[in-house]
Amino acid sequence: MKRIFLSRELRDGSPFRQLIDLPEIELIAQSLIDFQSLDFEMPPADCVFVYSPRGAQEFILLGVEQPKLLAAMGKRTAQILNKQFRVDYIGNGKAQAIATDLQQHFLIETISFIEAQNSLKSVEKLLSDSIQKIPVVAYSNTPKTIQLPDIDIAILTSPMNVEAFSRSTTHLPEAVIAIGQTTAQAVRELLYTGLIIAEQQSEEAMYKALIDLLD
């Protein structure tokens, strides 16, 4: 039996739900991060950029009008925003490509970034100094330390989840699937084990990487 850890709870429609009833797989799906909503207001800006699904949820709860330009880091964040807003730009999860797109294809002087208290600011730090970057801290995020059983394959969805996972087990997994390059770098620094990077920042891409690994 393979014990697989996914660092997020299973949502409806998640491809990982296909693993639940397989006798040869034990799936543990659990975030290793504590989130807390924070009070915030939206400053005027040419563009609102949302990093994460959690940030998208907080932005919707704020009850503001449609921004002039709304951008999302990736598909899952855009899907949540689309419940309330029109999303004008959907990134591929890769900070350098997104920063290039925003600067080349849109006339932007100011961008508000909906982000976590411990955000890595992966996109905003790559933007030209000619663009005013306004951080809007919508929620806090702190790593949890729990006691995990020995894991064969870990699927990790953020650098902070990598940090928490490294504290929560003394057994290195056979392989780690990382959702993107930033998470992969944290794996290289903290876990020193076989690493696979999902082709896109999505559950579908992570699931495909897992199935390819198991075959």
DSSP letters, 46-83, are: SEEEE-SHHHHHHHHHHTPPPPSSEEESSHHHHHHHTT
- Residue 61 CB neighbour total at 10 angstroms: 11
- What local confidence, expressed as pLDDT, does residue 77 receive? 95
User: Which residues on adjacent β-strands are paired with residue 133?
Assistant: 111
- Count how many domains the chain has: 2
| CA distance readout (Å), 195 to 50, 99, 153, 180, 184 | 27, 26, 10, 11, 7
Range of the domain at 49: 35-141
Query: Which of the four pLDDT bands, split at 50, 70 and 90, describes residue 144?
Result: very high
What is the mean pLDDT of the segment spanning 72-91? 96
Query: Which of the four pLDDT bands, split at 50, 70 and 90, describes residue 201?
Result: confident
pTM, two decimal places: 0.84
- What local confidence, expressed as pLDDT, does residue 60 receive? 98
Task: Evaluate if residue 93 carries a pLDDT over 90.
Answer: no
- 153 and 196 share one domain: yes
What is the residue-averaged pLDDT of the chain? 95
- What local confidence, expressed as pLDDT, does residue 181 receive? 87
Residue 101, domain CATH: 3.40.50.10090
